[in-house]
Chains A and B, each alone.
Chain A
Amino acid sequence: GQNIDQPTEMTATEGAIVQINCTYQTSGFNGLFWYQQHAGEAPTFLSYNVLDGLEEKGRFSSFLSRSKGYSYLLLKELQMKDSASYLCASMDSNYQLIWGAGTKLIIKP
């Protein structure tokens, strides 16, 4: 079956670094997406990885290991506005996104 696993909730301190892990198992693989979703709002795109390695985009970086079925999202210099849910999604062989349940990130001052 298809499955995406990520932690339900994480807590971090303002100014620190946090890594949110995601493991995936899908029928085929055409890339791994990360989205941010603030409470009561729509998901918004953060990153896309299709090749192994690290993609850096400002304070956010995303890593992919296809052989391990593993990705992580790294957030640096955390700000209070980063408090949100972070959704991991794998694109399967039909180019459909299979979504994880999301990781709620709580930032404390």
Chain B
Amino acid sequence: NAGVTQTPKFRVLKTGQSMTLLCAQDMNHEYMYWYRQDPGMGLRLIHYSVGEGTTAKGEVPDGYNVSRLKKQNFLLGLESAAPSQTSVYFCASRGDRDADTQYFGPGTRLTVL
């Protein structure tokens, strides 16, 4: 039982390049989330999903796209990376009860030059 895993752990991109971050969970959770975490700020929700085949925008969705083709996977895409997207990205998942905690992946540290 690996919990929530993320790949890659680190990445450096040049402005304008694209990439996809992969999140996988083996807990059969319905809900999955992508956050970014920047110094001095709280975790900010980028996109989320309430089940396979569904996605929704969070607080800061611009410049990102997501897909949830399989229940266990949630992909975050950057089509044309910008320096403002330099951040640490966390994926999380949770069960479908209100009190269920979110379980986080180890994070991806992305630098855009």
Contacts and interface: CB of A to CB of B under 8 A. Distances in A.
Are A and B interaction partners? yes
Contacts of B98: 30-31, 50, 91, 95
Interface of B: 40-45, 48, 58, 90, 98-99, 101-107
Contacts, number: 45
B99 A44 contact: no
A42 B107 contact: yes
A4 interface: yes
Given A41-B106, A42-B106, A42-B107, A99 B101 contact: no
A99 B43 contact: yes
Contact of A101 (B42, B102, B107): B42
Given A42-B107, A99-B42, A48 B90 contact: no
Contact of B45 (A30, A44, A96): A96
Contact of B40 (A30, A41, A101): A101
Interface residues of A, number: 23
Interface in A59-89: 87, 89
Interface of A: 4, 8, 30-31, 33, 41-45, 48, 50, 87, 89, 91, 95-102
Given A42-B107, A87-B42, A102-B42, A48 B48 contact: no
A9 to B, nearest CB: 11
